[in-house]
Structure 1
């Protein structure tokens, strides 16, 4: 048996969360087309006949640190390389971004086996260009493997999974075979609400929103969830609520349906929209909302 930790790294919005969800065969990480959708380290556990891979989905590494939240996201992404056995570096096309140089430096310092994964190959028509890019990549870094995939369409994911398993150390499983994450349902309920907010309001205020579960009560036939949606300004509160409360109602309905699928139980979901001025640039506010260094 092989067992170990696998860090999924890359720039924001390259498809790390989608990749982990499809490798697991279950949705854990929320997704949207907006960068910084992933804000926390999320563990996804995949147990098979040949071993256990413990995937770590993290915020994308980005260069600007304008606010305390941005610095927190970078710190969380950077710390992922500590204590892992294999790194999977995800790109979303046949090009290098200027920020990739920072990732190269971190990988050289870490000295870990790295698999380069080129995502969205279904959109690449020029196969010669792809082979040329792979040859260039091997000159830049001693990658263990370079694997082209389509995370969304699950193309080549079995090959990727096999390559990961061969690089993991020989060891007994760390987690029970039926466990898929280390996060509680309460955490995922908040993430699902935030996903719906980001998808509905992504063009207006994706980075000014966060969600806090105030109460999570599991009864025999019903789960009662009371959640606060925090924004930074009163004008943003009006956008989230919408005309006659229609936007908030739609978000609540979509989130409730997904939470019911997750926990396998009927859900009563109550949402409130509240203002906490400048929460994304306030260390104390971030800590009170669950952004802690313990991740």
Structure 2
């Protein structure tokens, strides 16, 4: 932007670009994405591998538009699904302007972190920053040591951190500072998305994720990986008055084995009913419309290892 008249203030050029949060599963990436966007667009869970798709969250500012890409956690894959999720992460790294690696402050740096940073070091051109997440769960002494460990890991792997910043998405500590740092690393560019748009993920995908989030809550450790959700049909019910809309959502919840189907449905259908009611509340909160949710549980045998089934389920 040029000078318009004598004495006028020269505005900084508008910036726009993409930043990706990466890290091992459950490192706080999704919670951080939601905190920066200011609204829940990415599901969170204490179960690893909750994120299976790349959801773009859009941060609108007067000086910039920051597009956040929340990737699945990079891990050592045991299934074809795991391999595909890892491929998704690596492709994303090469295409964004900044990669922010998340290291939870309440845990020591381990082999999983080293694996990710070693892989990331192979992506030469992308700017890298380190984020010490979950500082609300650690003492100041622990955070100080954690920051030193992150710096040392960068030196070991030949990774140059443009910034190392501690944040707590839950407490809101330094989230704004992180946003400023990320914007500072973006190139000059135009507005990429319309004002007010918070994500470019299709609504069906967001709804499926919210159903899966409700289904993941309280299930046994071996089950989360086996759960997939597909929204088969979604639309406003016809014949309703404009001031009383109702969104019909018909979705299938897939598991890999008959025994898992029993766990998800629960005794006399109680668990599935609970999953449905909690998912419905989340969907209504996100879309701002009353929802009728029709949920069915189906078996897709060993879908995580079957290319045909993976395609059917959207991977």
Give yes or no for TM over 0.5: yes
2:183 counterpart of 1:165: yes
Mapped contact 1:215–1:225 kept (Cα < 8 A):
yes
Mapped contact 2:154–2:161 kept (Cα < 8 A):
yes
Residue of structure 2 aligned with 1:70, choices 74, 77, 82: 82
Mapped contact 2:234–2:249 kept (Cα < 8 A):
yes
Deviation string 1:145-193 (CA, Å, 9 cap, x unpaired) is 1000112222111111100001000111111121111112111111100
The residue correspondences of 1:82-231 to structure 2 (distance < 5 A) are 82-93=94-105, 95-111=108-124, 112-125=126-139, 126=141, 128-130=144-146, 132-133=148-149, 135-137=151-153, 139-140=155-156, 141-203=159-221, 205-219=223-237, 220=242, 221-231=245-255
Mapped contact 2:103–2:113 kept (Cα < 8 A):
no
Mapped contact 1:34–1:202 kept (Cα < 8 A):
no
Q: List runs of 5+ in structure 1 lacking aligned partners.
A: none
SS in 1 for 2:254: strand
How many equivalent pairs are there?
Answer: 290
Q: CA deviation at 1:200?
A: 3.0
Distance in 2 (CA, whole Å) between partners of 1:135 and 1:211 is: 40
> Alpha carbons of 1:287 and 1:9: their partners in 2 closer, same or farther (altered >3 Å)?
same
The residue correspondences of 1:251-290 to structure 2 (distance < 5 A) are 251-290=275-314
Q: CA deviation at 1:85?
A: 0.5
Deviant stretches of 4+, over 4 Å: none
- The answer for the alignment partner of 1:232 in structure 2 is 256
Distance in 2 (CA, whole Å) between partners of 1:234 and 1:158 is: 47
Q: CA deviation at 1:100?
A: 2.9
Q: CA deviation at 1:131?
A: 5.2
SS in 2 for 1:36: coil
> Alpha carbons of 1:202 and 1:179: their partners in 2 closer, same or farther (altered >3 Å)?
farther
SS in 1 for 2:182: helix
> Alpha carbons of 1:204 and 1:109: their partners in 2 closer, same or farther (altered >3 Å)?
closer
Deviation string 1:218-237 (CA, Å, 9 cap, x unpaired) is 23511001111111111111
Question: Which is higher, the Rg of structure 1 or of structure 2?
Answer: 2
Q: CA deviation at 1:137?
A: 4.5
Q: CA deviation at 1:12?
A: 0.8
